[in-house]
Chains A and B, each alone.
Chain A
Amino acid sequence: MKVTFPHLGSLSIALTGLFTDLGLEVIAPPPITKKTISLGVLHAPEFACFPLKISLGNFIEALEAGADTLVMIGGTGPCRLGYYAQVQKEILRDLGYDFKMIIFEPPQGQLNKLINEIKTITTNCSSFKVLQAIHTVWRKVKALDKLHARSLQIRPRELECGATTAAYQQSLALISEAHTPQAVTVQLKKGMQLLNSVACDWQKKVLRIGLVGEIYMLLEPYANLQLERTLGEMGVEVERSVYLSDWIKEHLILNTLHFPGGLKTKRAAAPYLNHFVGGHGWESVGDTVRYARRGYDGVIHILPFTCTPEIVAKSILPTVSREQGIPVLSFSLDEQTGEAGFRTRLEAFIDLLAGTTLVN
């Protein structure tokens, strides 16, 4: 059995580790390229959202590389993500691939069900070993998020362009070497030291921008045209509102125990939107309000083209922007997005923010 999964930012490091620790052979899909996207677009429904197309491309490339077991997550709606796996399965079947698809549905109150599902794919692992592997992967996800958040603070202040990105890549490699929870902590420390050793100008005045929007588009740098890196190298400190560890904490742990999560964000959104709309629409509104309150210079909202929950948010954000006094720029991205146009709009937005800050 050769396991594969779709890419999502640095998730492949965590998942490769998890499945290897469980004694499975892993074939991670090749890094996302133009070819991945072309394959996805060719076979996916015309106006399906971008994440479905990219992950379909990942699956095709991984199957070509010899994988035979696809791991994907499910969901209960109303976001389309919950039905991705079913559609992708039928598409791949029609393409003539022979594979097994394992779909992890959200446990909805039963954590042991999730553990049992993981056990079905591992050949002879004890519950203890499964739990330890989950513990390690959880630490890894948290460590990856911490490194990422730190890199966003350092990049705008680096003296040599590209130094942060290089250090960040090295620190990711360190995490992938760890196989126990304790080792992850040690490697995280080393990674942080690497990042902190990048030569920086800490006196530099930088703009601060918050990123809100749909989780896949925020987490996958290829999908958002390296937005964070581009902004960082323009000298903008970016904070991303969504991290995988927060998502897991809210959706797999708190909601499983019937606790509502993300209350601060939801409370902040209440005057504008006081109801879930699927996906991250509610959070996009709430986080924009919170960035305004925290004195950020601007907010960039990222959504895949035709993403319904985010369109609801996009309809509300102009009012939020006006009333809270924070500039907001929405980018709706898909395979048609041109990099030059994207960059021009970003630069214009940054110039505008820099101008406003100077006047005040």
Chain B
Amino acid sequence: MKITVGIPRALLYYHYYPAWEAFFRSLGAEVVLSDETTKAILDAGVHLAVDETCLPVKLYLGHLVNLRDKGVDYIFAPRVVSVEERKYLCPKFLGLPEIARFCVPDLPELLTVEINVHQQYRRTISGLYQLAARFDRRPWKARLALRAAERAQECYEKRLKEGLTPYDVLSGKGLVKKHGSMKVAVLGHAYNVNDPFISLGIIEKLRAMGVEVVTSEMLRSEEINTGADKLEKGIFWTFGHLLMGAGLHFLQQQEIVGLILVAAFGCGPDSLTCELVERFYKRRRSIPVLLVTLDEHTGEAGLVTRLEAFVDMLRWRKAV
């Protein structure tokens, strides 16, 4: 029987799932995803987490419970410290394996490899080889698996650049017809924006209103970097940098008619980056901004009302 590796459909799933899947598949393991988010999954996470943890981490714990109940052999829970030079992920990712281990009882063994490109590049690589060796001792298999992962990730990112959101690609929906006369940017962590349950389907709702949605994943990294270069001091969080760079890029290009910022309540990096993006936009007075804060109490009717009001306002501005 094949070894099963569980991957929670939360957090970095939206960034790296294709690579992870290819990696474990080519090592001969079976990859099991947790179910799509439901109220029950979120509730399970909310009960286990420390009350002031941010929404996506609570959701992550819920997905771990879901995988545990599916009876997988292992759960892949990497400690992703840094994925590029001089930038970190949010502190919660640094302690994520511990949060999982100490908050969720009776978990199967966690596969925790440390990804730390900034400080420990060599150890990251050797850690990946060690992880691969647990499935197949032949080093060339590990090399193949890593190459397969790299290729899958490149292919995934290429599709994102074509104008798809991570959810579009990962759910297999493929390219949606580009409709809508207005371009609105939706910026926020991919794991908040793309989970249709916690974001209350914000992207689908906007598309249904005839809006063309652009996200930071659709931009090339040069565009993000030139946007962020306007800052005096670069942002040291990878996702904060992405949000800020995309925000400033859109502000400079003026190709969008509105900006929607999606933040999870209590998100440390977002509290500062969203604030700055909002201030920069207000100073230019050319593109309206809507800030949507999500938590487990968010009501759908309220969000729909706010989105409709925002889109109506954008239409009127255009008409005038």
* A318 and B101 alpha carbons, distance in the complex (Å): 12
- CB–CB A47/B265 < 8 A: yes
In whole Å, how far is B155's beta carbon from the nearest beta carbon of chain A? 30
**Which residues of chain B have C-beta atoms less than 8 A from A316's C-beta?**
95, 98-99, 102
In whole Å, how far is B276's beta carbon from the nearest beta carbon of chain A? 6
In whole Å, how far is B237's beta carbon from the nearest beta carbon of chain A? 7
**Which residues of chain A have C-beta atoms less than 8 A from B276's C-beta?**
86-87, 90
**Which residues of chain A have C-beta atoms less than 8 A from B98's C-beta?**
272-273, 275, 312, 315-316
In whole Å, how far is B75's beta carbon from the nearest beta carbon of chain A? 17
Q: Which of A77, A86, A316, A318 has the most CB of B within 10 A?
A: A77
- CB–CB B274/A279 < 8 A: no
In whole Å, how far is B139's beta carbon from the nearest beta carbon of chain A? 27
Chain A minimum-CB-distance residue to B79: A275
Contact of A30 with B by CB under 8 A: no
Contacts A275-B114, A315-B103, A319-B102 known; A86 to B88 CB distance under 8 Å?
Answer: no
Residues of A69-98 contacting chain B, CB below 8 A:
74, 76-80, 82-84, 86-87, 90-91, 94
Contacts A77-B236, A87-B272 known; A47 to B267 CB distance under 8 Å?
Answer: yes
Contact of B109 with A by CB under 8 A: no
- CB–CB A78/B271 < 8 A: no
**Which residues of chain B have C-beta atoms less than 8 A from A80's C-beta?**
268-269, 271-272
Chain B interfacial residues counted at CB < 8 A: 40
Q: Which of B79, B272, B276, B293 has the most CB of A within 10 A?
A: B272
- CB–CB A312/B91 < 8 A: yes
Residues of A270-318 contacting chain B, CB below 8 A:
272-273, 275-279, 281, 305-309, 311-316, 318
User: Per-residue CB proximity of A329-356 to B under 8 Å, as 1/0?
Assistant: 0001000000000000000000000000
Residues of B70-99 contacting chain A, CB below 8 A:
79, 81, 86-92, 94-95, 98-99
Chain B minimum-CB-distance residue to A312: B95
- CB–CB A306/B94 < 8 A: no
Q: Which of B87, B95, B98, B283 has the most CB of A within 10 A?
A: B95
**Which residues of chain A have C-beta atoms less than 8 A from B79's C-beta?**
275
- CB–CB A318/B233 < 8 A: no
Chain B minimum-CB-distance residue to A105: B233
Contact of A45 with B by CB under 8 A: yes
Chain A interfacial residues counted at CB < 8 A: 42
- CB–CB A90/B94 < 8 A: no
Contacts A45-B275, A48-B271, A87-B272 known; A312 to B235 CB distance under 8 Å?
Answer: no
- CB–CB B274/A45 < 8 A: yes
In whole Å, how far is A102's beta carbon from the nearest beta carbon of chain B? 13
In whole Å, how far is B285's beta carbon from the nearest beta carbon of chain A? 13
Residues of B260-296 contacting chain A, CB below 8 A:
265-269, 271-272, 274-276, 279, 283, 293
* A313 and B52 alpha carbons, distance in the complex (Å): 12
Chain A minimum-CB-distance residue to B282: A94
- CB–CB B102/A78 < 8 A: no
- CB–CB B92/A311 < 8 A: yes
Contacts A90-B276, A315-B103 known; A45 to B271 CB distance under 8 Å?
Answer: yes
Q: Which of these, A48, A275, A281, A313, contacts B272 with CB under 8 Å?
A: A48
* A45 and B269 alpha carbons, distance in the complex (Å): 11
User: Per-residue CB proximity of B51-76 to A under 8 Å, as 1/0?
Assistant: 01110000000000000000000000
Complex A-B: 28 CB contacts under 8 Å = A45-B271, A47-B267, A48-B272, A48-B275, A49-B268, A76-B86, A77-B87, A78-B88, A78-B94, A78-B237, A86-B231, A86-B232, A87-B272, A91-B279, A273-B95, A275-B81, A276-B94, A278-B88, A281-B91, A306-B52, A307-B268, A308-B90, A308-B92, A312-B94, A312-B95, A315-B49, A315-B95, A316-B98
Chain A residues with a Cβ under 8 A of chain B: 45-49, 74, 76-80, 82-84, 86-87, 90-91, 94, 103, 272-273, 275-279, 281, 305-309, 311-316, 318-319, 332
- Known contacts A80-B271, A314-B50; 11 additional CB pairs below 8 A are A76-B86, A78-B91, A78-B237, A82-B236, A84-B272, A87-B272, A275-B94, A275-B114, A311-B52, A311-B92, A316-B98
